[in-house]
A and B are shown apart, each in its own frame.
Chain A
Amino acid sequence: MDNTAASVSFAKPMREGGLAKAGLNILVDETFTPPLSDATSLVQKVRSARPDLLFLLPTALPDDKLLVEKLNEFGLGRGRLPVVSNGAHIAAPEMLTALGKEQVEGIMTVVGNWRINGEDALLAEYKSAPASPG
């Protein structure tokens, strides 16, 4: 996970007994400061520990890409190691275009929001709207 406030907030209840209550042990607990320049050492530690589940909690799109790319490179991608993230950033269309559908296969994410009336129409309009500059 990165050390931004959202990731810290998401990890807090899990670190403070949430995972233990669910019968899970933490094998690797690594925190980095964004942006990442290289994800090799982080993913290497994950692979060495051989976990059954990975909570991947970056917040920046470039970090998402680096980490998912490296997980695939180490043979942990495509659902071999279930990956759960927090936030919609990791499911941004840019991940699909930058990495391809094979590499992003199996990534799960938790997004907190409330359903609203007319949400489907809004989403369709949002998707069809031209991308903002930049």
Chain B
Amino acid sequence: MHAMVRLADQLLVLDHGQRAGCEVRPAEVTRNPSVIEAYLGKKWVKPVLQVESLSVAYGGLRAPERRLARASGRGQFVAIVGPNGAGKTTLFKAISGIVAAVVGANSLRWARSGDGASGAARTLGIAHVPEGRQVFKSMTVLENLEMGAYLPAGPRRPGSGISSADPAPCSRACRPPRRSWPGPCPAASSRWWRSAVVSRHRRKLLLLDEPSMGLAPTVADQIFERIEEIHRQDKLATLLVEQRVVEALHSCDVGYVLETGRGRAGGIQRDAAGRRPGQEGVSWDVSNGVEKSQARKLEGGQGDAKNREKILHSRRRARNRGGAGARSGQVKEVKVALIAPFSGPWARQGDLMLKGAQMAIDDINAQGGIKALGGAKMKLVVIDAGDSIEKAKNAAQRMVAQETDVIGCTGAWLSSFTLAVTEVTERAELPCLTLSYSDQITARGFRYIFQTSPTGNEQAIQALPTIIEAARSPLPGTH
């Protein structure tokens, strides 16, 4: 084998007529569990879960088949990274049985049952922490924990084992009292509740779907530390989906990159002895192969890493046109986007924003355009943020993917929408100017968001004395 590895550019290993492992690079092949088992006769750790090929359909829309085999051995930490639309969440939903697989259901193999019944996932000890920040706001923290621990086939009081000793992934400041109502730090605390439940009940497989979504970088770091701690202490097989590629690949044992439903790359990040690539005898590194060259491209929000890089490149180029391009008069048009609700309950405010934005652009163009850019005209791109946070985020993703020459945007009127939209624009390095009020908008440490108005917090503090004074003076003709 050593001679072959030194001589060959590509290496295929056959085991009883079947190809063992999907890698071809010799250094990778030697580290593939299937190859080790077939070639050396060593029994690799039996996987808790193995997915070989899987296809999911939403209505008539069929998600592409996932060809990348991935296995989560006992106690192994597997990270799956990839941009939005790659199928990461769909994969998790298929594993936990939320959506049915149209092809490849039988490829979901479980160590205990050996069958492909996705419905059995619930009783197999799978803890699925879904994407998003939904909690039951009318229930206390403890009740939320108990709901997270509930299984139809589980104990009658699933939450009875939850104790105050459960560690939290975020700082003490973010940790809500157990009897309190959800509120001060909903995003971070909801993650804490879930991981606390998972840790306590010793699930066999932990599925974490973008646990850092919407969190401040410091809080997200604490979440990752907590995940590593859970994995290390409980020996829990963990499958993590993330867009924060660097952190995810740093934490994992094995990493995979998913791109529009298909595996793009994968490999061992840390071998069974905990040795990282670069150390003696550990030569293949998913982070060397993927992270450094592609991580930043993948953290964008589009379905394709190449497109993502093109988009960032063209956007940076568009932004830098103020230099030589402007002086030579090459810039003909400067595009800015307005992302605001033009449908649903907030549509009227979107219309008013559009009216103001169009008026400003018409005014600038009527005066000869942007003088510093040789008279370049401005053009407004209008994007409907819709009537929900999810729609607003999707609209922002469409905007950064399709309008690659937009150099800045404004929106999204409703603070909740702005918070979602700026998660996308921040990754795309697209400057966003907002008049939204929430203090969270500029409290997350983002670099590409600019808030023009005082925050709601500040407004309340400043206005309260005047409000009370005004309220004490009855209107003429009343009282």
B458, B464, B467: which contacts A108 (Cβ < 8 A)?
Answer: B467
Residues of B near A86 (CB, < 8 A) are 437, 456, 459-460
Among A57-87, those with CB < 8 Å from B are 59-63, 78-80, 82, 84, 86-87
A100: interface (CB < 8 Å) = no
Residues of A near B345 (CB, < 8 A) are 34-35, 60-63
Q: Are A92 and B352 in contact (CB under 8 A)?
A: yes
CB distance from A63 to the nearest CB of B (A): 7
User: Could you tell me the distance between the alpha carbons of A22 and B470 in the complex, rounded to whole angstroms?
Assistant: 14
A7, A24, A126: which contacts B468 (Cβ < 8 A)?
Answer: A24
Contact segment of B314-322, B400-408, B471-479: B471-479
A9, A60, A126, A131: which contacts B456 (Cβ < 8 A)?
Answer: A9
Looking across the interface, which residue of chain A has its beta carbon closest to that of B356? A126
Q: Are B414 and A4 in contact (CB under 8 A)?
A: yes
Contact segment of B152-160, B265-273, B447-455: B447-455
In the complex with contacts A61-B348, A108-B470, A125-B359, A13-B478 CB distance below 8 A: no
CB distance from A133 to the nearest CB of B (A): 8
Among A1-16, those with CB < 8 Å from B are 3-14
In the complex with contacts A6-B415, A6-B437, A132-B354, A112-B468 CB distance below 8 A: no
Q: Which of B351, B415, B437 has the most CB of A within 10 A?
A: B437
Binary interface encoding of chain A residues 80-108 relative to chain B, with 1 for a CB under 8 A from any of its CBs, else 0:
10101011010010100000000001101
Q: Are B464 and A6 in contact (CB under 8 A)?
A: no
CB distance from A37 to the nearest CB of B (A): 11
Residues of A near B106 (CB, < 8 A) are none
Q: Are B457 and A12 in contact (CB under 8 A)?
A: yes
CB distance from B55 to the nearest CB of A (A): 36
Residues of A near B456 (CB, < 8 A) are 6-10, 12, 86, 112
In the complex with contacts A4-B414, A52-B471, A53-B471, A92-B348 CB distance below 8 A: yes
CB distance from A115 to the nearest CB of B (A): 12
Residues of A near B436 (CB, < 8 A) are 5-6
In the complex with contacts A5-B438, A35-B345, A82-B471 CB distance below 8 A: yes
User: Could you tell me the distance between the alpha carbons of A71 and B56 in the complex, rounded to whole angstroms?
Assistant: 50
User: Could you tell me the distance between the alpha carbons of A60 and B345 in the complex, rounded to whole angstroms?
Assistant: 6
Looking across the interface, which residue of chain A has its beta carbon closest to that of B347? A134
Q: Are B355 and A132 in contact (CB under 8 A)?
A: yes
Among B314-359, those with CB < 8 Å from A are 342, 344-349, 351-352, 354-356, 358-359
In the complex with contacts A5-B416, A5-B419, A9-B439, A79-B346 CB distance below 8 A: no
Looking across the interface, which residue of chain B has its beta carbon closest to that of A61? B348
Looking across the interface, which residue of chain A has its beta carbon closest to that of B360? A122
A-B contact count (CB 8 A): 134
B358, B418, B461, B475: which contacts A105 (Cβ < 8 A)?
Answer: B475
User: Could you tell me the distance between the alpha carbons of A98 and B352 in the complex, rounded to whole angstroms?
Assistant: 17
CB distance from B398 to the nearest CB of A (A): 20
User: Could you tell me the distance between the alpha carbons of A94 and B345 in the complex, rounded to whole angstroms?
Assistant: 13
Q: Are B475 and A106 in contact (CB under 8 A)?
A: yes
Among B417-435, those with CB < 8 Å from A are 418-419, 435
A4, A14, A80, A110: which contacts B415 (Cβ < 8 A)?
Answer: A4
CB distance from A28 to the nearest CB of B (A): 16
User: Could you tell me the distance between the alpha carbons of A110 and B478 in the complex, rounded to whole angstroms?
Assistant: 22
User: Could you tell me the distance between the alpha carbons of A23 and B47 in the complex, rounded to whole angstroms?
Assistant: 63
Which range contains the number of B residues in contact with the other chain?
A: 35 or more
Q: Are A18 and B359 in contact (CB under 8 A)?
A: no
Residues of A near B461 (CB, < 8 A) are 13, 18
B307: interface (CB < 8 Å) = no
Looking across the interface, which residue of chain A has its beta carbon closest to that of B465? A22
Looking across the interface, which residue of chain B has its beta carbon closest to that of A18? B464
Residues of A near B342 (CB, < 8 A) are 134
A48: interface (CB < 8 Å) = no
Residues of A near B344 (CB, < 8 A) are 35
Residues of B near A13 (CB, < 8 A) are 457, 460-461
Q: Which of B348, B355, B359 has the most CB of A within 10 A?
A: B348
User: Could you tell me the distance between the alpha carbons of A129 and B345 in the complex, rounded to whole angstroms?
Assistant: 23
In the complex with contacts A9-B438, A129-B355, A14-B464 CB distance below 8 A: yes
Residues of B near A126 (CB, < 8 A) are 355-356, 359
B61: interface (CB < 8 Å) = no
Residues of A near B439 (CB, < 8 A) are 9, 12
CB distance from A21 to the nearest CB of B (A): 9
Residues of B near A35 (CB, < 8 A) are 344-345
Residues of A near B465 (CB, < 8 A) are 22
Residues of B near A133 (CB, < 8 A) are 351
A113: interface (CB < 8 Å) = yes
Binary interface encoding of chain A residues 22-60 relative to chain B, with 1 for a CB under 8 A from any of its CBs, else 0:
101000000000110000000000000000110000011
Q: Are B349 and A89 in contact (CB under 8 A)?
A: yes
Looking across the interface, which residue of chain A has its beta carbon closest to that of B348? A61
User: Could you tell me the distance between the alpha carbons of A14 and B359 in the complex, rounded to whole angstroms?
Assistant: 37
Q: Are B452 and A84 in contact (CB under 8 A)?
A: no
Q: Are A112 and B478 in contact (CB under 8 A)?
A: no
Q: Are A87 and B355 in contact (CB under 8 A)?
A: no
Looking across the interface, which residue of chain B has its beta carbon closest to that of A11? B460
Name 8 A/B residue pairs within 8 A (Cβ), A-sorted: A4-B414, A53-B467, A61-B349, A79-B478, A86-B437, A112-B454, A134-B347, A134-B351
A86-B460, A113-B453, A125-B359 are known; give 19 further A-B pairs, CB within 8 A: A5-B414, A5-B415, A5-B419, A5-B437, A8-B438, A9-B456, A10-B437, A60-B346, A61-B345, A78-B475, A92-B348, A92-B349, A106-B478, A108-B467, A110-B463, A112-B458, A114-B453, A132-B352, A134-B347
Closest CB pairs A-B (n = 3): A9-B456, A60-B345, A5-B415
